[in-house]
């Protein structure tokens, strides 16, 4: 399949070939869900912690006598039913991360790329850089590809790690940069507009097509 290549001014320049093995696949919603949840789980810190009644600092004495009060017998004031007592089944530090099969992860990325190509939310842009690293210059380029000049979650896929472009985008909270070989399913899927550098398209074709 082919896609139009736009200039930084938003004008059509030429066409570029998109591999059907990367951008023309049927969308697999299950594996996309799996990949996004995997990324979110791996990002969890897992440092939440609560104290059990054995860990709470306090006395071991009984709050009142075992017999003669007419009340239910009690052990100590560190029991869960007392204010400041231990927590029952509370969270403790743990590792939430887990691994995902490489083939499934690659299929998820290709499914998302196919989805973006099919619903016309992906545009191929000629290679550009921001030599001075200023945000206003990058914002002027992005404005040509956003609907009615509205700010929306935008993803730019780069071929190389361009430090000046990333520097220019630091102050734009709704903008995310991804490298063609380090895509993130969450950012890519929820990006309302996906801009792919022309050189990155060729790299995506080669990187994902035969694997």
For the stretch 40-92, pLDDT in tens is 999 999 999 999 999 999 889 999 999 999 999 999 999 999 999 999 999 99
CATH code matching the domain that covers 2-29+101-209, chosen among 3.40.1370.10, 3.30.365.10, 3.40.30.10, 3.40.50.1000? 3.40.1370.10
C-beta of residue 156 within 8 angstroms of C-beta of residue 176 = yes
Q: Which residue has the tokens 């914002």?
A: 139
| Average pLDDT rounded to a whole number, residues 123-145 | 88
Quick one: pLDDT band at residue 145, thresholds 50, 70, 90? confident
Q: Vertex 101, ends 114 and 155: CA angle to 5°?
A: 40
Say if CB 37 and CB 23 are below 8 A apart.
no
* pLDDT at site 48: 95
Strands 12-17 and 2-6: antiparallel
Which among 64, 63, 112 has a CA at the least distance from the CA of 85? 63
- pTM summary value: 0.82
Query: Looking at residue 210, what is its pLDDT?
Result: 67
| Domain locations in the chain as residue ranges | 2-29+101-209, 45-95
Q: Are 50 and 90 in contact (CB under 8 A)?
A: yes
Residue 26 neighbours by CB distance under 10 Å = 9
What's the burial of 64, exposed, middle or buried (CB within 10 Å: 0-12/13-18/19+)?
A: exposed
């Amino acid at each position: 399949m082919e896609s139009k290549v736009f200039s930084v001014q938003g004008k059509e320049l030429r066409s570029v070939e998109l591999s059907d093995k990367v951008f023309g696949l049927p969308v697999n919603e299950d594996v996309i869900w799996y990949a996004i949840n995997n990324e979110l789980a791996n990002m969890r810190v897992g440092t939440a912690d609560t104290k059990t009644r054995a860990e709470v600092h306090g006395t071991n004495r009984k709050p009142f006598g075992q017999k003669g009060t007419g009340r239910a017998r009690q052990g100590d004031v560190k029991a869960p039913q007392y204010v400041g007592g231990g927590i029952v089944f509370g969270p403790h530090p743990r590792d939430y991360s887990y691994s995902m099969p490489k083939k499934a992860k690659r299929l998820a990325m290709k499914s998302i790329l196919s989805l973006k190509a099919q619903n016309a939310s992906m545009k191929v842009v000629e290679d550009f850089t921001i030599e001075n690293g200023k945000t206003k210059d990058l914002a002027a380029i992005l404005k040509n590809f956003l609907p009615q000049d509205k700010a929306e979650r935008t993803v730019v896929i780069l071929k190389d790690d361009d430090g000046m472009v990333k520097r220019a985008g630091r102050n734009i909270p709704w903008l995310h940069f991804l490298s063609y070989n380090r895509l993130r399913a969450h950012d890519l899927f929820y990006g309302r507009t996906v801009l792919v550098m022309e050189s990155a398209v060729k790299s995506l074709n080669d990187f994902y097509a035969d694997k």
